[in-house]
Amino acid sequence: MKMKIAVLPGDGIGPEIIAEGVKVLEAVAERFGHEVTFNEALVGAAAIDAVGNPYPDETHELCMNSDAVLFGAVGHPRFDKDPNAKVRPEQGLLAMRKQLGLYANLRPVETFDQLIDKSPLRPELIQGVDFMCVRELTGGLYFGRPQGRSEDGNTAYDTCVYSREEIERVVRVAYEYAMKRRKKLTVVDKANILATSRLWREVAQEIAPEFPEVKTEFLFVDNAAMRMIQWPKDFDVLVTENMFGDILTDEGSVLTGSMGLLPSASIGLHTSVFEPIHGSWPEAAGKQIANPLATILSVAMLFEYAFKLTDEGTCIRQAVKKSLDAGVCTPDLLGSDGKKFKTRDVGDWIVSQIKN
């Protein structure tokens, strides 16, 4: 198969982890006889520095004309420390999501047996955790307008907006995944307080009868956050709005043992984007200590979701499991006694497994 992949490394650890993702993608393509073309483009702070725009038109054009996008992370302390910065790296991420119509972000949370002791939770609580969080990605507080400050600068406001159509399409995606999995859907909202959440609940209740085999439950987000720690194995598929999903999946990463382990796929109207859920971890940039597994597992999702190539995805997952079995890990996954591998060493080791 011919594949055109847009590569957007971004900022901080982005270039280091993406280099490993690209290596793995190339190795799998070679093994399974696919022809891949990579085209790199600017995003985030790197794009602001180069052309003054965190999501330049050329980057968008490249994404639109590619079969899939492999994305690293954006964000730089220079902007995080300046609340008055007019242009910010994260605006590039939001613009990409909006312009590509990426309304559903699929975030699988699975624990690895080899890493059970890395989680702060007791092993019996997390062994076998396997759920999928479907996060709405182009609406809610992150996009609602008006947003800003009063003239005197002493009051700030954000607006949370959701339309019936925006909720319906992402809830349907979640039901479809629930049908393919253990047929349970948890709709997470704050319907006791928020008008948008009440619309979410109403729409989900309307759609539920179309999927009679799926058991639907509704949870307030505060309760969901608690349940994720208390009984994480109870979840199968969760669906929720943008900000709740952002926060809950970071919590989910703690179950697995590291932020460096969770991949994601953003799907919608145009080209899909595959990216780790973590950020640009600027303190680690250039040190080769970032875990590349979230990115490498995002490449597995890229094969499975963008090209429907499941054997290729399985090949990557098996190589990742072998690396964990062999203790070929970055420092986040090792105790003080283990040998620490660099980001590129982990990538090289996984590539060698794929080639064998």
For the bound state, the minimum distance from the C-beta of residue 292 to ligand NAD, rounded and expressed in Å, comes to 7
Q: Which ranges in the chain belong to alpha helices (H)?
A: 14-32, 45-51, 57-64, 77-80, 89-99, 123-126, 164-180, 195-207, 221-230, 242-256, 293-301, 310-325, 343-355
Angle CA 280–344–303, to nearest 5: 75
Cβ closest to ligand NAD, residue 172 vs residue 278: 278
Which of 281, 303, 305, 341 touches ligand NAD by CB under 6 A? 281
State the CB neighbour count (10 A cutoff) for residue 16.
24
Q: Which of 11, 189, 246, 345 is catalytic?
A: 246
Which of 26, 40, 80, 176 touches ligand NAD by CB under 6 A? 80
Determine the interface stretch with ligand NAD among 74-82, 186-194, 213-221, 265-273 (rule: CB under 6 A): 74-82
Alpha-carbon distance 303 to 134, whole Å?
19
Determine the interface stretch with ligand NAD among 32-40, 174-182, 197-205, 254-262 (rule: CB under 6 A): 254-262
Torsion of CA 297, 302, 307, 309, to 10 degrees: 0
Which of 111, 197, 280, 298 touches ligand NAD by CB under 6 A? 280
The reply to whether 250 belongs to the active site is yes
Which of positions 292-321 make contact with ligand NAD (CB under 6 A)? 294
**Contact indicator for 187, 134 with CB cutoff of 8 Å:** no
Determine the interface stretch with ligand NAD among 54-62, 155-163, 213-221, 256-264 (rule: CB under 6 A): 256-264
The reply to whether 246 belongs to the active site is yes
3-state DSSP call for residue 193?
Answer: coil
Residues near 61 by Cβ (< 8 Å), separated by ≥ 6?
none
**Contact indicator for 322, 346 with CB cutoff of 8 Å:** no
Residue labelled with tokens 């007791």: 122
Determine the interface stretch with ligand NAD among 127-135, 172-180, 253-261, 317-325 (rule: CB under 6 A): 253-261
Which of positions 149-178 make contact with ligand NAD (CB under 6 A)? none
204 binds ligand NAD (CB under 6 A): no
Cβ closest to ligand NAD, residue 75 vs residue 232: 75
258 binds ligand NAD (CB under 6 A): yes
Cβ closest to ligand NAD, residue 179 vs residue 254: 254
Q: Which stretch of DSSP H or E encloses residue 148?
A: strand 148-149
Binding string to ligand NAD for residues 100 to 129, with x set by CB under 6 A, is what?
------------------------------
Alpha-carbon distance 21 to 8, whole Å?
11
Q: Which tokens is 136 given?
A: 């709405």
**Contact indicator for 70, 302 with CB cutoff of 8 Å:** yes
Cβ closest to ligand NAD, residue 291 vs residue 353: 291
Cβ closest to ligand NAD, residue 5 vs residue 96: 96
The reply to whether 23 belongs to the active site is no
245 binds ligand NAD (CB under 6 A): no
CA dihedral over 105, 209, 232, 224, signed as positive or negative = positive
The reply to whether 130 belongs to the active site is no
For the bound state, the minimum distance from the C-beta of residue 89 to ligand NAD, rounded and expressed in Å, comes to 7
The reply to whether 190 belongs to the active site is yes
Q: Which tokens is 98 given?
A: 């909006």
User: DSSP state, 132?
Assistant: E
Q: Which residues in this chain contact ligand NAD in the complex, by CB under 6 A?
A: 13, 17, 73-75, 80, 90, 93, 258-260, 278-282, 290-291, 294, 332
Catalytic positions, please?
142, 190, 222, 246, 250
